[in-house]
Amino acid sequence: MMDVFRNFGQSFIAKIIMALIALSFVLWGVSGYFMSGSSGPAAVASVNDHKITAAVFQKRLQETQERYSQVFGAATAAKMAKQSSFAGDVLNGLIGNILLGTEAAHMGLQVPDSVLAKRIEAIPAFHEKGKFSKTKYQEVLKNHGMTPAQFESLLRESLRIEQIQVVPQIIAHASDQAAQEVWGWSQEYRDISTVTLSDADFAQQAKPDAAAVRSFYQQHLSEFKLPAQVEVQYVVLGPQDFVGGAASTHAIAAATSSAHQITGVADQTAENAFQAQVENFKDRLFSSPDGLQSVAKAYHLQIASSGLLTEGKVPSSGLFADPKALDLAFSKAVLAGKNSRALTLKNGNLLAVHLLHYHPGTVQDLHAVQDKIIARLTDEKAQQLAKAQAETLLSQARKAGKVTALSDDGQYPVKVHLNVTRKDAQGLSPALLRAVFLAPAPVDQVPSMGMIREDKGYTLFAVTQVMAPASAAVNPKVTAEIRASLEEQRGRLLSAAYLSDLRQHAKVTINDAQLAEAARQSS
């Protein structure tokens, strides 16, 4: 949804409406959007002593989609409304605005008519020949599906909330120095030296002996158990087994005048006949002494075989690709030699199964799995040895203050990466790039060193030189833009934190079932 917002057009009236939307769809008269007390219609959510009814929430969803249609177009608005997060976002916005509106009321904040009028008159979209035009004002609002009363109420509420949001914006102030530091941080170059210790370098000395393999096998027998397998017989009963059974085709043809009508009546007749036999089918399954034979005979069904099924492994196709059907084949009743219960499949048909063959799960012997155990133990031990060696080399190199100490007298080659930046990694992995730029700069030509775990090995690194541009090199315009961006980001974080704090200290309850139902009815 936010991608749509970011790509939205730049017209001024659009910006106005977007600003109002960003204020979480502020209320047009609070009393019309929530009720007080515990009586009355079921609530989608409650905020302290007020509740948002399903009818009110559905109305807000519809209004939101209509407003999106005015701003983004009907097709885009429809896509946005179908997103799973749409209803929750609208509800959370409504809750947030109730919290902010209530807080503004508690603080006694007001927006005088004169202030509201000045704000409206200052909006260029309502100007003609450089001055505010009431005619243009009414025309623009009408084109966007709003009356002056609605717009003024909406704007008044947003201005009240703006007053609450002044403090976070003031606190979010960023200095020129902070902006210059950010610019320098983004333009920084670093020279990096790296040494890689691969787990494979320690594989030979990490191989376990026979005793260790036997011990691991005994302690992890459950890991080497093969799953159970079954083969079952099954029958499927559905409306297709009752076509022509309850009424003749001639009778249907006589009562109708088109092929479409004939098909519809026949299908409904078969469905009715099937539904009438559902309970009888279940009873026969329960009482049948000969598996599925008498059931199949009674309903003229064919008994089929599933082939070999593996517990917990759903086939890619076929009847038992339905996980519920697979579970039915391994149910206690079936494994005990009884008929299964009747399972309703996704298409409405009924499935019943009976056991043919059962192969219980067995534990593989040590000989069959010892190669896997050896490989696993070797990998684990090799990683431990690699880590221990890396930590030793790092400690020695830090004491010596020299990059060459990382190589362990040349056993591990040192790679040099010059002029690495956050945008030009010079082949360093993302994890390593983050680590080297979080490391402090060298002091008195002593490299800053560290290590990280990478894919199948450890990488030791040394930051040997840091080159950052002087703050005097920053263009003042760039400084101003960075400062504004910092203040905007800080303001958003502080405002979000303030709203989160209000919500934590309020009693907010959301009825998920009502929310889902209201969203469904509005779609």
pLDDT tens sequence across 148-180: 888 888 788 778 777 776 656 656 666 767 776
Given this model, what pLDDT does residue 181 score? Answer: 66
pLDDT tens sequence across 450-476: 999 998 999 999 999 998 776 656 677
Q: Distance (Å, rounded) from C-alpha 216 to C-alpha 379?
A: 14
Token pair listed for 420? 């690495």
Query: Bigger pLDDT: 20 or 365?
Result: 365
Residue that the structure tokens 């040590």 belong to: 366
Is 285 a residue whose pLDDT tops 60? yes
Please say whether the beta carbons of 462 and 193 come within 8 A: yes
pLDDT tens sequence across 324-350: 999 999 999 999 999 999 999 989 999
Distance of CA 416 to the CA centre of its chain: 40
Closest CA to 406 of 396, 417, 416, 415: 396
Cα Rg, the chain, nearest whole Å = 36
Given this model, what pLDDT does residue 158 score? Answer: 78
Closest CA to 252 of 237, 235, 270: 270
Q: Distance (Å, rounded) from C-alpha 73 to C-alpha 9?
A: 11
Q: Evaluate the CA torsion angle 469, 474, 478, 479 in order and state its sign.
A: positive
pLDDT band with cut points at 50, 70 and 90 for residue 523: low
Considering the chain, what percentage of its residues have pLDDT values greater than 90?
46
Q: Distance (Å, rounded) from C-alpha 337 to C-alpha 454?
A: 53
* Alpha helix positions (H), 7-112: 12-22, 54-72, 74-82, 86-106
Query: Bigger pLDDT: 492 or 516?
Result: 516
**Residue 221 carries which DSSP code?**
G
How many residues make up the chain in this entry? 523
- Cα distances (angstroms) measured from residue 211 to each of 208, 215, 373, 436, 472: 8, 6, 12, 43, 68
513-519 contacts at long range (C-beta below 8 A, 24 or more positions apart): 514/42, 514/43, 514/44, 514/54, 515/44, 515/45, 515/57, 515/87, 515/88, 515/91, 516/87, 517/54, 518/44, 518/54, 518/57, 518/58, 518/61, 518/87, 519/61, 519/86, 519/87
Instruction: Determine the 3-state secondary structure of 417 from DSSP.
Output: strand
pLDDT band with cut points at 50, 70 and 90 for residue 199: very high
Residue 457 pairs with which residues in a beta bridge? 198, 454
Helix axes 210-219, 366-400, angle to 10 degrees: 110
Token pair listed for 292? 């599925």
pLDDT tens sequence across 292-304: 999 999 999 999 9
Given this model, what pLDDT does residue 14 score? Answer: 43
Token pair listed for 520? 């469904």
Closest CA to 440 of 419, 424, 463: 463
**Residue 471 carries which DSSP code?**
G
Please say whether the beta carbons of 172 and 34 come within 8 A: no
58-63 contacts at long range (C-beta below 8 A, 24 or more positions apart): 58/518, 58/521, 58/522, 60/25, 60/33, 60/90, 60/94, 61/86, 61/87, 61/90, 61/518, 61/519, 61/522, 62/522, 63/25
Q: Which amino acid is located at 520 in the chain?
A: R
Comparing 162-171, 217-226, 487-496, the range with the smallest average pLDDT is 162-171
Helix axes 476-504, 176-187, angle to 10 degrees: 110
**What is the secondary structure of 278-306 as a DSSP string?**
HHHHHHHHHH-SSTTHHHHHHHTPPPEE-
Q: Distance (Å, rounded) from C-alpha 523 to C-alpha 521?
A: 6
Cα atoms in the 13 Å half-sphere on the side-chain side of 436: 32
Given this model, what pLDDT does residue 469 score? Answer: 73
Residue 231 pairs with which residues in a beta bridge? 357
Task: Say which residues have a Cβ less than 8 Å from residue 368's Cβ, sequence separation at least 6.
Answer: none
Per-residue b or e along 264-281, where b marks 16 or more CB atoms closer than 10 Å to that residue's CB: ebbeebbbebbeebeeeb
**Residue 38 carries which DSSP code?**
S
pLDDT band with cut points at 50, 70 and 90 for residue 1: very low
Instruction: Determine the 3-state secondary structure of 457 from DSSP.
Output: strand
